[in-house]
Amino acid sequence: KNQVEQSPQSLIILEGKNCTLQCNYTVSPFSNLRWYKQDTGRGPVSLTIMTFSENTKSNGRYTATLDADTKQSSLHITASQLSDSASYICVGGDSWGKLQFGAGTQVVVTP
């Protein structure tokens, strides 16, 4: 059964600081690992998509890493801004195009 687990469940950081979110996945047959940002009551917005051959991918202040051997991924947010307050969802994609979503990490950035 495909599963994606994220940690921490939530975190609070000061504006300007960095943070790292973690993701462990079990997806078979594995194809890709995605990170989405979801504002409250809105649809998720894609941040990064990585295939098994990619180790890192950046999108502005967001940097995702992937270790396909240990089935772990992380999302690093640099110099956080108030607008970064959102839920960050890790998603494993299989070779059939089906996505398995994690429960998300709720990030709150405070002034």
Partner 1 sequence: ETGVTQSPTHLIKTRGQQVTLRCSSQSGHNTVSWYQQALGQGPQFIFQYYREEENGRGNFPPRFSGLQFPNYSSELNVNALELDDSALYLCASSSAGSHNEQFFGPGTRLTVL
Contact set with partner 1 (CB under 8 A): 4, 31-32, 41-46, 49, 51, 89, 91, 93-104
Q: What secondary structure does DSSP assign to 25-53, as a single string?
A: EE-SSEEEEEEEEE-TTS--EEEEEEETT
Q: How far is the CB of 93 from partner 1 (least distance, A)?
A: 6
Q: Which is nearer to partner 1, 75 or 102 (CB)?
A: 102
Spatial distance between the Cα atoms of 42 and 22, rounded to a whole number of angstroms: 22
Q: Which is nearer to partner 1, 66 or 102 (CB)?
A: 102
Q: How far is the CB of 84 from partner 1 (least distance, A)?
A: 19
Q: Give the H or E element holding residue 12.
A: strand 10-14
